[in-house]
Amino acid sequence: MEKNILNKLNKNKKRNNSTLFLILFGILFVAVVGNAFISRGGMRGGPDVVAEPLEMTFSDVLRRGDEIQTMNIRENVATGVLRDGTKYHAIITYNPELLEKLTKGGTSISIDTSKGWVDYLGTWVPIVMGLFFIWWIFRGMRGGAGGLGRALLGQNPTKIVTGKPKTTFKDVAGIDSEKQELSEVVDFLRDKSKFAAVGARVPRGVLLSGEPGTGKTLLARAIAGEANVPFFAASGSDFSGIIVGLGVAKIKEIFEMAKRNAPCLLFIDEIDAIGQRRSQNSFNDQDREQTLNQLLIEMDGFSNDTGIIVIGATNRPDMLDPALLRPGRFDRQVHIDLPDMAGRCAILELHAKKIKMHEDVNLENLARGTTGCSGADLENLLNEAALHAVRSGHKMVAPDDIEEARDKLIMGPRKIRKMRPEDIKLTAYHEAGHAYVSTVYADVTDPIHKATIIPRGRALGMVQHLPIDDKVSMSLAEIRANLAVALAGRAAEEIFFGADKITTGAESDIEMATRLARRSITTAGLSNKIGLVAINQAQTFGSRVPLENASEKTAEMVDAEIKSWLADAYTDATRILNKNKSVVKKLAEELLKRETLTGDEIMEIVGKKPAKKTTVKKAKVAKK
């Protein structure tokens, strides 16, 4: 109801302002056009003139100068009477010699330099229109959302989503600890009297931060839906505009609307757009700083018992101004991490309820193979699987559809490439090298899931591993084993094709191995030569400054140690493959035949028992 009334008032105000502007602009436009028309017509006379004057050209004036009795000159228009009484009208060019010649011939010449109202109109109309435009802009600044300036520059009203969401905590999975952290906010919105009885102050603002797709917006809607209170949502970019002062007016507008509906929830997404840290020399961002100042006042100013809880969401909390994060404003900060394996499984089960799944689909294995995926990634994965099922003519999502969707998410879409037979063969031996060394270190590394030589994205093939559970750290033995597995592909190329036949296919493997070795040596303190020294310090958003806090001598030692680790790993992989060339060749030949081998098939080929399957839950088939 509140929103409809505001919309009607704004529309009526805009309609009246637009009508007034059109009328004024029309009058000024007619005046300017009339000025141009009259100026072009000169002093021709009106409809009262009975006889039309004789039209003469400048050549006629020069030729018939002795016939002219009088001449009245105004600008470049000459009028007068000939000696026979005929009136004339001519367009001439100012020429002193011509005037002197006419005067000697007996012509009476007069020059009119006076200005009429038409001349004054042509001079002052542009000035008045300019002043009116400036007044219009400043009126839009003072009027905020309803000003004419906004209508001129195409500024839309603040996009405010209102209502009571139907989303609850049941619709949010994988972030149980975060939901527990926000349960107090829900209790306050339901009944704040029990908090007031004890003297407790509920957080006025909650800042949700985390990677994109972790569910910040969904969680905010769930809080409002769980508490059954009005929900106002806007984006940080809605409070910035071309005209100075509009951001402040919009902040006032949305908070006034929220106060009239308190207790309520106000959600500002991407709050870093207006809440960035202020600096001493930010002359170009004064409008943004004024908007931030108004937000600070509204959140904890002179009236601090408004019944409004503000929830902000951002992917970049380190950019926010400290005044925004102090107690009394955003005094509770909740960081939403990427879901762990249990969380991914819960998210998949939640989204799988909307999709018809085959009973053989193993959601727990899918959760194991999607480490580092957000909730949005997992929802997109299941949707891709459903789309693939439709393209394949399946009536429900089968395990093959899930596998195809997961490969597409991790490696990219399947590429149709016309590869040379020798390239396909080399790729098969490359992946066979990875796969075999993985089986040798099966007790240390993650179990192998499958090996494939089907091109996807930029990769010509891949060996995938499925972790048993989420890891928070890696041992030195595990790091050494992973380095050997990563370099086993290049080792297989050299063993089976010769040193002069190695290719650039190991580029990503070498990059990954170098990154793992450098991190282990420079930040984890796993090298005896370098010692327990942190050389690389993590910067904003995970970027790194190479060899920070290190001398040139230490940098050389680090480079030498990294090369030593990678050389040892390559030697280890070469030794293992040389001892088992026949088994590796068998693996490569099977890859050439089938293109894809599962983990159990690989273990069977190398003569080891397949890993025992853990007990998993099967997805229920949705009934029609």
The token pair that represents 121 in the structure block: 């109109």
Domain range for 7 is 2-39+118-153
pLDDT bracket for residue 138 (50, 70, 90): low
What contacts 24+ positions apart, CB below 8 Å, involve 411-420?
A: 411/456, 411/457, 411/459, 411/462, 412/456, 412/457, 412/458, 412/459, 413/456, 413/457, 414/454, 414/455, 414/456, 415/455, 415/456, 415/457, 417/455, 419/455, 419/460
Instruction: Tell me: do 146 and 191 sit in the same domain.
Output: no
pLDDT bracket for residue 282 (50, 70, 90): low
Q: How far apart are CA 54 and CA 567, in angstroms?
A: 106
Give the mean model confidence (pLDDT) for residues 129-149. 60
Tell me what the pLDDT averaged over the chain comes to. 78
Q: Do residues 594 and 453 touch, judged by C-beta distance below 8 A? A: no
CA angle 498–501–504, rounded 5-degree value = 130
Instruction: Tell me: do 308 and 178 sit in the same domain.
Output: yes
Top pLDDT among 566 and 403 is at 566
Q: What HEC string does 322-387 produce?
A: HHHHCCCCCCEEEEECCCCHHHHHHHHHHHHCCCCECCCCEHHHHHHCCCCCCHHHHHHHHHHHHH
Nearest CA-CA partner of 440 in 565, 596, 572: 572
Q: Please report whether residue 162 resides in a domain.
A: no
Top pLDDT among 32 and 164 is at 164
End-to-end CA, the chain: 40
**Per-residue pLDDT at 42 exceeds 70:** no
From the list 178, 379, 431, 561, the catalytic residue is 431
pLDDT of residue 616: 37
Q: Please report whether residue 32 resides in a domain.
A: yes
431 belongs to the catalytic site = yes
Query: Of 153, 179, 204, which residue constitutes the final position of a domain?
Result: 153
Instruction: Tell me: do 33 and 76 sit in the same domain.
Output: no
Choice among 131-135, 184-188, 347-351, 399-403 with the minimum mean pLDDT: 131-135
pLDDT tens-digit readout, 309-356 = 889 999 888 888 888 888 888 888 888 888 888 888 999 999 998 899
Instruction: Tell me: do 146 and 195 sit in the same domain.
Output: no
Instruction: Tell me: do 61 and 124 sit in the same domain.
Output: no
pLDDT of residue 331: 80
Instruction: Tell me: do 560 and 491 sit in the same domain.
Output: yes
Q: How far apart are CA 402 and CA 380, in angstroms?
A: 11
The token pair that represents 411 in the structure block: 């490696």
Instruction: Tell me: do 32 and 75 sit in the same domain.
Output: no
Residue with tokens 């001449």: 71
Instruction: Tell me: do 194 and 132 sit in the same domain.
Output: no
Distance, C-alpha 81 to centroid of its chain: 77
Name the percent of the chain in helix, strand, coil, to the closest 5: 55, 10, 35
Distance, C-alpha 52 to centroid of its chain: 71
Q: How far apart are CA 39 and CA 122, in angstroms?
A: 9
Q: Do residues 107 and 70 touch, judged by C-beta distance below 8 A? A: yes
Instruction: Tell me: do 19 and 49 sit in the same domain.
Output: no
Q: Do residues 347 and 195 touch, judged by C-beta distance below 8 A? A: no
Choice among 45-49, 436-440, 575-579, 614-618 with the minimum mean pLDDT: 614-618
pLDDT bracket for residue 35 (50, 70, 90): low
Give the mean model confidence (pLDDT) for residues 197-205. 80
Q: How far apart are CA 467 and CA 469, in angstroms?
A: 5
Nearest CA-CA partner of 234 in 273, 202, 205: 273
- Name, of 91-95, 137-141, 200-204, 381-385, the range with top average pLDDT: 381-385
pLDDT of residue 155: 44
**Per-residue pLDDT at 15 exceeds 60:** no
- The pTM of this model reads 0.65
Q: Please report whether residue 615 resides in a domain.
A: no
pLDDT of residue 133: 75
Half-sphere CA count of 459, side-chain side, radius 13 A:
21
Q: Please report whether residue 622 resides in a domain.
A: no
pLDDT tens-digit readout, 72-88 = 887 778 888 888 888 88
User: Do you know the residue count of the chain?
Assistant: 624
Nearest CA-CA partner of 233 in 248, 217, 244, 216: 217
Inter-helix orientation angle 286-300/246-259, to 10°? 20
CB crowding 93-104: b at 16 or more within 10 Å, else e: eeeeebbeebee
Distance, C-alpha 314 to centroid of its chain: 12
Instruction: Tell me: do 463 and 554 sit in the same domain.
Output: yes
pLDDT of residue 585: 92
List residues bridging with 362 in a β-sheet: 618
Instruction: Tell me: do 63 and 79 sit in the same domain.
Output: yes
pLDDT tens-digit readout, 453-492 = 888 877 788 888 888 777 778 899 999 999 999 999 999 9
pLDDT tens-digit readout, 232-273 = 888 887 777 655 567 788 888 888 888 888 888 888 888 888
Q: Please report whether residue 163 resides in a domain.
A: no
Q: How far apart are CA 327 and CA 378, in angstroms?
A: 35
C-alpha radius of gyration, the chain, whole number:
40
Q: Please report whether residue 161 resides in a domain.
A: no
CATH number assigned to the domain comprising residue 239: 3.40.50.300
Q: Please report whether residue 547 resides in a domain.
A: yes
CATH number assigned to the domain comprising residue 106: 3.30.720.210
Instruction: Tell me: do 131 and 218 sit in the same domain.
Output: no
pLDDT bracket for residue 172 (50, 70, 90): confident
User: Count of domains in the chain?
Assistant: 5
pLDDT tens-digit readout, 565-624 = 999 999 999 999 999 999 999 999 999 998 888 888 889 888 876 544 443 333 333 332
